[in-house]
Amino acid sequence: MQELGWLTQPAVFPWAALALGLCVGSFLNVVIHRLPVMMERAWRAECAELMGRDTPGGAPPEQRYNLISPRSRCPSCGAAIRAWHNVPVFSWLLLKGKCANCGARISLRYPAVELLAGFGAAWSAWHFGFGIAALGGALFIWCTIALAFIDQATGYLPDDITLPLIWAGLLLNAFGTYAPLFDAVIGAAAGYLALWLVYWGFRLATGKEGMGYGDFKMNAAVGAFLGWKLLPLVILMSSVVGLAFGIAQMLAARGGWDGGFKFHFGPYIAVAGIAAMLLGRPIMDLVPALRMFG
């Protein structure tokens, strides 16, 4: 362990976290693309089983598909993506954002996710210093990035991410990493119930569903990590960010362009949760109405 002592130095640790985060960001791109497809395949298989069929519609069994297999390929030409094409950010820049085989455009989302994951991990390392808090903070940031992009693209907030994230927050806070355990347990319950009440209030008033149960679970995960005292700040910030994007969307639509934007609450919870984890106390000090929760 002494040989790795240099890694714990404040001038080194954030850079190491940045490198690790960029690599994790590359994997997050796989999760963002494949996990919704895996969920839909599982649903089809369950429906087929309930209807007494081995496979949906009597079709042949589907190829094995998970986060590891099959090998990543270009969606346009089907060419296998080589190892050097997968170097986070740099490969996208060297390829000028195009497939090396067919020249099809590679979405800007890929380097964006890698950069967000990298800088998020570096910020967590700089903010918390070497230790379990930095690792847990990076895990929280990575998971919320994946949830935000999946929700924005598909409207799904997978239980495969939200539920383990709740437990991770509670386990980390069993040692008081971010908040006392009691505050974390209350935070998880309050995070879920707060949006559950909003959901039912909106549904009773309008007859429509304003959000899904995945939003409740994601907010519960934020509460499990940060504790109940930061939840009002998270809900306030996520609402403000959502309102800002909603206004921008309306203005863009009036101008004849909406960019394919869809309103999902998951990305706003992600932005607010990350901001509250890393900047929560200074922000609360600036907002007098929130000081009572500190």
Give the 3-state DSSP-derived string for the chain, with helices as H, strands as E and coil as C: CHHHHHHHCCCCHHHHHHHHHHHHHHHHHHHHHHHHHHHHHHHHHHHHHHCCCCCHHHCCCCCCCCCCCCCCECCCCCCECCHHHHCCCHHHHHCCCECCCCCCECCCHHHHHHHHHHHHHHHHHHHHCCCHHHHHHHHHHHHHHHHHHHHHHHCCCCHHHHHHHHHHHHHHHCCCCCCCHHHHHHHHHHHHHHHHHHHHHHHHHHCCCCCCHHHHHHHHHHHHHHCHHHHHHHHHHHHHHHHHHHHHHHHHHHCCCCCCCCCCCHHHHHHHHHHHHHHHHHHHHHCHHHHHHC
CA distance 134 to 126: 8
- pLDDT reported for residue 289: 58
* Model pLDDT for residues 219-270, shown as the tens digit of each residue: 999 999 999 989 988 888 888 887 777 777 777 667 666 555 567 888 999 9
Predicted confidence band at 50 (pLDDT cuts at 50, 70, 90)?
Answer: confident
Question: Do 220 and 291 fall within a single domain?
Answer: yes
Number of domains in the chain: 2
Question: Do 167 and 110 fall within a single domain?
Answer: no
Residue pair 145/270 in contact by the 8 Å Cβ criterion: yes
Distance of alpha carbon 198 from the chain centroid: 22
Question: Do 73 and 146 fall within a single domain?
Answer: no
Over the Cα atoms of the chain, what is R_g? 21
**Among 49-58, 79-88, 100-109, where is mean pLDDT lowest?**
49-58
Q: Report the sign of the C-alpha dihedral through residues 40, 45, 48, 53, in that order.
A: positive
Question: Do 137 and 275 fall within a single domain?
Answer: yes
Domain boundary (65, 84, 118) is at: 118
- Residue 272 pLDDT > 80, yes or no? yes
Which stretches within 82-131 are classed as H helix? 90-94, 109-128
| Domain annotation covers residue 205 | yes
Give me the domain span that covers residue 80: 14-118
Question: Do 187 and 262 fall within a single domain?
Answer: yes
Q: Is the peptide bond before 60 cis (omega within 30 degrees of 0)?
A: no
CA distance 234 to 98: 38
Question: Do 105 and 150 fall within a single domain?
Answer: no
| Domain annotation covers residue 208 | yes
- pLDDT reported for residue 206: 82
Q: Give 234-275 as a DSSP string.
A: HHHHHHHHHHHHHHHHHHHHHTT--TT----SHHHHHHHHHH
Question: Do 171 and 81 fall within a single domain?
Answer: no
Q: Specify the 3-state DSSP secondary structure of 85.
A: helix
Question: Do 60 and 151 fall within a single domain?
Answer: no
Question: Do 51 and 168 fall within a single domain?
Answer: no
Residue pair 156/52 in contact by the 8 Å Cβ criterion: no
* Model pLDDT for residues 170-184, shown as the tens digit of each residue: 999 999 999 999 999
- Residue 274 pLDDT > 60, yes or no? yes
- pLDDT reported for residue 74: 72
- Residue 160 pLDDT > 90, yes or no? yes
Better-predicted residue by pLDDT, 203 or 256 = 203
Residue pair 157/266 in contact by the 8 Å Cβ criterion: yes
Q: Which residues contact 163 (CB under 8 A, 6 or more apart)?
A: 217
| Domain annotation covers residue 95 | yes
pTM of the complete model: 0.86
Range 44-50 average pLDDT: 80
